[in-house]
Chain A
C-alpha cells in the first residue's frame, strides 16, 4: 500500500498523466455535447448551505501554545468553507465506473496540509509530499486506515493507497496543528466534486439508477440524501443544509 518512491517506475507515472489529460478532455467534450444534444444521462444539481463553523474566540495569553506549536494560524483557513460532494450508486455491482489510477497529491507546505480536504476513490493512491524546508510526518489513528509514514526530510514523498472507504483524519506528529481529512469514497461512487464558495453543485450524465448523495465538510459535518435518477433528465434538489 505504501510504495517507496523509487519503486514506482517513471514511465507509469507519465502514462497516468496522459490518461488523466485524456479523461479531462473527454469530460469537457461530453459537457459541450450535452449542451447541444440530448444528454445520455441525468443531470443532478443543487446547492449546499453550510452552517458556519464556530470561530473560537481565543483569549489573549490563553492560547500561547497554540501559536507556538500550531504554526501559521494567522493565515485564513478557507478550507472550512469547502464541501465535498459525491454521488454513490446503491447498486453494489454498478458498472460504468471506471477504474481510476488517479493519483492525488497531499502536499505539506507552510506547515499546512494542502489541500486540507480531499476526496479520493477507494483504491486510489495519495502521494504525500513534503514541500517544506522542515521535517514532517503523516499519521492517522482513524479506524479506516491507521498508518504512519514516519518522518520525512524536505522534498521527500510517499504514496499511500487507501483501500477502504471512510473518512480519515491525517496529522503530523511534529506539528500538532496540521490536519487534513481524506474522504475515501466507495468504488460505487460515480462522481465527486469539491465545492467552492458558491455552494452549487451539478453532476451530469449520471446513469439511471438509485444513488446516495454524500456531503462532507470539515468539522465532521456530514449529510447524505437519496437521489433517484430513473426516467429523469434533470434532478433539481432543494438546498441542502449541512450543519455541525
Chain B
C-alpha cells in the first residue's frame, strides 16, 4: 500500500506544533513581563548604588574643595593680604594663589582649565573673603561696592565662628549657582576672616558625574533645572522634568532619603531617581534642590522590547498557522468522512455508479480509494450474479415454456373435454409463471416487475389460447404503471391469470361478444385490481369461501399469500376486486438484491 504524501500525522503534528508555539509565546510573554519588572527593579536598585556613588563623589568634591580652601586660607601671603584689609591687595593675592593652585589641585584645574583662564576666573570658580562681620573683603571678581554682609549666606556665619565646614552649600552668585564651602581663616587661633571657595554647577559637572556613574545626571536647584547631562533636552522636556521633580513625594524622600519617579521625555520613558541636596541650617535640615539620576527606560528595555516584538511575530505566526491548520485539518478530516458517508448512503440506495471523489492524499484518500475499489468489486460481483440470475430465470422460463408446450401437445391429443380443460388451465398457469420469469430476466431487474406490462402480456397470451373460442371478446385494459415486488408479483400474476381465465371461460361459456375490463391502479398505498365482465354472472348463492372450484381455491390461497382482500360482485356480470397493500417485501426469492 502506498504511503500518503502528506499524512494526517504530519498535519496533526504541525497543528500541535502551532499550538505548542502559542503556549510557548504565552509563556515567553509572561517571562518578558517578569523580565520587564526585573529590569525596572534592577534599574531602581542600581539607582541606589548610583546614589551612593553620587554621595561619595560629592563627598570627595567637598573634601577637595575643603583641602583647596584650607590651603588658600593658610597661605601666609593670603593672611598678610587679609590683614591689610585692602580689597585690591586681597584680590591680587587670590588670583596669584589660584594660579599657583591650578597645578596642584585637580578640582581647580578641572574647573578652570576647560575654559580660558585669561577671560575670567569668575565664571569658573568662586572665591570670596569676608571680614569678621561677613563683609566681603575681596573676591575673584571685583568686590561688590554695596558691601553687603554675606553672613546670611549658608556656612559663612559658622566659619566666622571658627567652625570648619562639614558640607558644601549651594549659593547663587549673580546668575550662577555654586557649590560652596566657607572656612575660617585663622591667625594664631584667631579667626581673622572667612574664605569661601566654590565651583560652579555647570553642565560639565553633570556630564562628568554622568560618565562616572553611567546614568544621566541633572541638578535641580531653586525650583529650576540648572544643568543636565541629557543631550538635546527640549524646553518642553525640561518642563516635564522640573514638574516631575516638584511633584515628587516629599514623604518618601523624608522616609527613605530618595525617591524614584517616572517621566516621559524625548518620546522615551524615563526613570528618575531623586537625591535631595540636604543642607543643614543650624538645627533644621533644608532641601535646597535635587540631584536627579535618570535612565531611559525605553533604552534599557529596548532589547526586551525587541524580544517582545519577535515574540509577538512568532505568536502571530503561530496563531495564523494554528488557524490555517485548524481549518484545513477539520476540513481534511470531516470532508472525506462526509464524502465517504455520502458514498455509503448512495450504496445503500443501490447506486454503485458514483464513486467517492478522492481529493486528499492522506489516509482518508487511501480509505476513500479503497472504499471505491471495494464498491467497484461489489458492483462487478453484482453484475455477474444478475447475469447468472437472468440466466436462471431464462432457463426456468424455458423449462416452464417446454412444460407448457408439452401440456398443449397433450391437450390436443386428449379427447375428453374435462381433461383437455385441465390441461389447458395448467398450461395457462404455467405459461403465466413463465411470463413472470421471462419478464424478470428481460427487465434485468429482479426486484420490481412492471406489472401493467405483465398484465397486458398475460391477457394477450390468454387471449391467444382462447382465441378460437372467444374470438369476439375484447379486453379493455386500463392499467397504471405500477412496479411490484417479485414476492407479490408471482402470486398476484397467478391470481390475475385465474381471474382473467375465469372471466373468459365462465362469463361467456357459449362464446359470443363481450368485454372484459381490467383496471389496475394504486390507491393510498394499496394496489387495486378489478376484473369485470358483462357475462352471465355467478350463481346467487356464490360464496368465495365455499367455492370448491380449483380457480377460486387458487385465488383464495394466493390472496392469503399476499394478504389481499378479494370481493366478488355479481349483478350484470361479475366484478372481482382485489385490494392488497403494496410491500417492498423482501424474501428469499428476492435475496439477489444485496441491500
Q: Which residues of A contact B (CB under 8 A)?
A: 53-59, 61-66, 69-70, 73, 77, 80, 116, 139-143, 169, 171-179, 218-220, 244
A179 to chain B minimum Cβ distance, whole angstroms, is 5
Q: Which residues of A contact B89 (CB under 8 A)?
A: 141
Asked if residues B75 and A176 are in contact (CB atoms below 8 Å), the reply is: yes
Asked if residues B164 and A176 are in contact (CB atoms below 8 Å), the reply is: no
Residue of A nearest to B92 (CB): A141
A75 to chain B minimum Cβ distance, whole angstroms, is 10
Asked if residues A58 and B84 are in contact (CB atoms below 8 Å), the reply is: no
Asked if residues B79 and A176 are in contact (CB atoms below 8 Å), the reply is: yes
Asked if residues B80 and A244 are in contact (CB atoms below 8 Å), the reply is: no
Q: Which residues of A contact B80 (CB under 8 A)?
A: 139-142, 169, 171
Q: Which residues of B contact A (CB under 8 A)?
A: 70-71, 74-77, 79-81, 83-86, 89, 93, 132, 161-165, 184, 186-192
Asked if residues B163 and A62 are in contact (CB atoms below 8 Å), the reply is: yes
- Given contact pairs A142-B83, A169-B80, A179-B187, enumerate 7 new A-B contacts (beta carbons under 8 Å): A57-B162, A62-B164, A66-B74, A77-B189, A143-B84, A172-B76, A177-B186
A66 to B184, CA, bound (A): 11
Q: Pick the contact of A63 from B81, B83, B164, B188 — CB < 8 Å?
A: B164
Residue of B nearest to A167 (CB): B83
Q: Which residues of A contact B188 (CB under 8 A)?
A: 70, 73, 77, 116, 177-179
Residue of B nearest to A219 (CB): B190
Q: Which residues of B contact A142 (CB under 8 A)?
A: 80, 83-84
Q: Which residues of A contact B161 (CB under 8 A)?
A: 56-57
Q: Pick the contact of B76 from A59, A173, A220 — CB < 8 Å?
A: A173
Asked if residues A141 and B77 are in contact (CB atoms below 8 Å), the reply is: yes
Q: Which residues of B contact A65 (CB under 8 A)?
A: 70-71, 74
A54 to B186, CA, bound (A): 12
Residue of B nearest to A65 (CB): B70
Asked if residues B190 and A53 are in contact (CB atoms below 8 Å), the reply is: yes
Q: Which residues of B contact A73 (CB under 8 A)?
A: 188-189
Residue of B nearest to A172 (CB): B76
A176 to B86, CA, bound (A): 19
A65 to B189, CA, bound (A): 12
For the complex of A and B, 10 pairs with smallest distance between CB atoms: A62-B164, A56-B162, A169-B83, A141-B80, A176-B76, A171-B80, A173-B76, A65-B70, A171-B76, A176-B74
A61 to B163, CA, bound (A): 11
Q: Pick the contact of B86 from A66, A70, A143 — CB < 8 Å?
A: A143
Q: Which residues of B contact A177 (CB under 8 A)?
A: 186-188
Tell me the total A-B contact number using a CB cutoff of 8 A: 89
B574 to chain A minimum Cβ distance, whole angstroms, is 152
B385 to chain A minimum Cβ distance, whole angstroms, is 123
Q: Which residues of A contact B191 (CB under 8 A)?
A: 54, 56
Asked if residues A56 and B84 are in contact (CB atoms below 8 Å), the reply is: no
5 A-B residue pairings within 8 Å (CB atoms): A53-B190, A62-B164, A63-B186, A141-B89, A176-B75
A219 to B77, CA, bound (A): 17
Q: Which residues of B contact A171 (CB under 8 A)?
A: 76-77, 79-80, 83
Asked if residues B74 and A69 are in contact (CB atoms below 8 Å), the reply is: yes
| Most chain A C-beta atoms within 10 Å of own C-beta, residue among B77, B83, B84, B189 | B189
Asked if residues B71 and A141 are in contact (CB atoms below 8 Å), the reply is: no
Asked if residues A169 and B84 are in contact (CB atoms below 8 Å), the reply is: yes
A69 to B186, CA, bound (A): 11
Q: Which residues of A contact B83 (CB under 8 A)?
A: 141-142, 169, 171, 179
B327 to chain A minimum Cβ distance, whole angstroms, is 82
A141 to B83, CA, bound (A): 8
Q: Which residues of B contact A218 (CB under 8 A)?
A: 190
Residue of B nearest to A113 (CB): B188
Assuming the contacts A62-B164, A141-B80, A141-B89, asked whether A56 and B190 have C-beta atoms less than 8 A apart, the reply is yes
Asked if residues A141 and B81 are in contact (CB atoms below 8 Å), the reply is: yes
A99 to chain B minimum Cβ distance, whole angstroms, is 30
Assuming the contacts A53-B190, A171-B80, A177-B186, asked whether A58 and B74 have C-beta atoms less than 8 A apart, the reply is no
Q: Which residues of B contact A169 (CB under 8 A)?
A: 80, 83-84
A80 to B74, CA, bound (A): 20
| Most chain A C-beta atoms within 10 Å of own C-beta, residue among B74, B76, B93 | B76
A244 to B191, CA, bound (A): 12
B188 to chain A minimum Cβ distance, whole angstroms, is 5
A151 to B341, CA, bound (A): 124
Residue of B nearest to A80 (CB): B190
A64 to B187, CA, bound (A): 14
Q: Which residues of A contact B93 (CB under 8 A)?
A: 141
A244 to B89, CA, bound (A): 23
A34 to B11, CA, bound (A): 139
Q: Which residues of A contact B189 (CB under 8 A)?
A: 55-56, 58, 73, 77
B193 to chain A minimum Cβ distance, whole angstroms, is 11
Q: Which residues of A contact B162 (CB under 8 A)?
A: 54, 56-58
B312 to chain A minimum Cβ distance, whole angstroms, is 61
| Most chain A C-beta atoms within 10 Å of own C-beta, residue among B71, B77, B165 | B77
Assuming the contacts A63-B164, A65-B70, A141-B81, asked whether A56 and B76 have C-beta atoms less than 8 A apart, the reply is no
A178 to B77, CA, bound (A): 11
Asked if residues B76 and A175 are in contact (CB atoms below 8 Å), the reply is: yes
Q: Which residues of A contact B84 (CB under 8 A)?
A: 141-143, 169
B129 to chain A minimum Cβ distance, whole angstroms, is 14
Residue of B nearest to A175 (CB): B76
